Amino acid sequence: MNGFTKYILRQLFVGMILVSTGLTCVIWLSQSLRFIEMIVNRGLSAGMFVYLTVLLLPNFLVIVLPIALFTVVVFTYSKLITDRELIVMRASGLSQFAIAKPALILALLVVGAGYALNLYLVPQSYSKFRELQWDIRYSYGHILLREGAFNSVADGITVYVRQRTNEGQLLGLLVHDQRDKNAPFTLMAAKGAMVQTDEGARVIMFNGNRQGIDKKTNKLSILYFDRYVFDLASDKESTEERFREPRERTLGELFNIRTIKPNMNPKEYGKFFVEGHKRIVSPLAALSFTLIGLACLIASSFSRRTQTRQVILAISLMVALQGSSLGLENLVAKHLQFVPLLYILGLVPIFLGYGFMVLWQLRRRRNIEPVTA
Residues in CB range of 204: below 8 A, 6 or more apart: 192, 193, 194, 195, 227, 228, 229, 230
- 3-state SS class at 265: coil
- Spatial distance between the Cα atoms of 186 and 109, rounded to a whole number of angstroms: 61
Residue range 338-360: average pLDDT? 89
* Distance, CA of 192 to CA of 230 (rounded, Å): 10
pLDDT of residue 143: 58
Of 233, 268, 292, the one marking the end of a domain is 233
The rounded distance, in Å, linking the Cα atoms of 89 and 358 is 18
Q: What is the pLDDT of residue 239?
A: 47
Query: Per this entry, what is the length of the chain?
Result: 373
Do both 252 and 126 map to the same domain? Answer: yes
**DSSP state letters, 236-298:** GGGGSPPPPPGGGS-HHHHHTHHHH-TTS-HHHHHHHHHHHHHHHHGGGHHHHHHHHHHHHHT
How do residues 16-68 score in pLDDT, each as one tens digit?
999 999 999 888 888 777 777 666 655 667 777 788 888 889 999 999 999 99
pLDDT band at 5 (very low <50, low <70, confident <90, very high): confident
Beta bridge partners of 197: 200
Are 126 and 58 a contacting pair, CB within 8 Å?
Answer: yes
Please give the residue range of the domain that contains residue 53: 3-138+244-368
Q: Fill in the amino acid letter for 131.
A: E
Residues 281 and 307 in one domain: yes
Query: Does 225 lie in the same domain as 177?
Result: yes
pTM equals 0.75
The rounded mean pLDDT for the chain is 83
| Same domain membership, residue 269 and residue 347 | yes
